[in-house]
Each structure stands twice: as C-alpha cells, then as structure tokens.
Amino acid sequence: MLAGSQIFENSLAEMDMDEWGKDPAVQALRKVFKGMEKSLVQIIEGLAISPYDHRIRGWLETALPKFEKAWHLAHQTDMNLREEAAPVVYAHCLAKVIASAGVEIPDDLLPAAGQIRKLVNEVFT
C-alpha cells in the first residue's frame, strides 16, 4: 500500500505541471521577463560590473517601479508598445538608475529607443 505522500507525488508526476505555460498571456509575460533579464545581464556585463556587486540590488529595486510607471504611461498615452519593447524600456530605466549612481553609461550600450527615451525621461522627471 502506498503512503499518502507517495500517492500525491505519483498524481503530480502524471499531471502536466506547466498548465499555465500554455496560456498565451503567460507565455507573453515570460518573454517579457526573459527579455528584461537579458537586458540586465547585457548592461552589467557591458559595464564590467561583477554580478555580485552589492549596488545591483538597489538599482533593480529602483528601476522596476520606474519601468512599471513608464509602461503604464505608454499605455495611457496610446503609445502602443508591443511586448518586444519592454526589455528596451527596462534597459533605459535601469541605465538611468545606474547613471544616477555615478556610473557612466556608454551610448552604444543601450538599444536604440527613439520615443522610448522620451517616455523614460518623463518618468524620471
């Protein structure tokens, strides 16, 4: 006879564990988060900053609400940004936060942004 926890574990093993992953909205969010993470890595590596630098956490905690505000503002003003633009918006927000800490951000480090740069500047004023 199987113990209760073994029955539960066997049931879970038979279930499709990523049911949420089939949802197009969840897939889109995962792409956005993956893009944001890629932007972070590119900026940190591009600046030759150790991923263990104690300043990074504070930068991330400051950049995320700025990103959320910029994304919300873009939708309020019918800017019509697609999910592919999210990592670009995030990269520019993060770069502004890092620059405010006195770290020089080379111009070629960030993706081209056009109207996104203007949007991010509005959030930071």
CATH number at residue 84: 1.10.472
Chain Cα centroid distance, residue 56? 14
**Residue 101 belongs to domain spanning:** 24-123
Residue 109 located in a structural domain: yes
- The tens-digit pLDDT sequence of the chain (125 residues) is 555 555 555 555 555 556 777 888 888 888 989 999 999 999 999 999 999 999 999 999 999 999 999 999 998 888 878 888 899 999 999 999 999 999 999 989 988 878 898 999 999 98
Residue 124 has a CB neighbour count (10 Å cut-off) of 14
Q: Which of 99, 104, 103, 106 is nearest to 121 (CA)?
A: 99
Residue 6 located in a structural domain: no
The pLDDT value given to residue 12? 53
Number of domains composing the chain: 1
Residue 105 located in a structural domain: yes
With helix as H, strand as E and coil as C, how does 66-107 read?
HHHHHHHHHHHCCCCCCHHHHHHHHHHHHHHHHHHCCCCCCH
Residue 107 located in a structural domain: yes
Model-level pTM?
0.80
Q: In one letter, which amino acid is 36?
A: M
The pLDDT value given to residue 49? 96
The pLDDT value given to residue 92? 95
Residue 114 located in a structural domain: yes
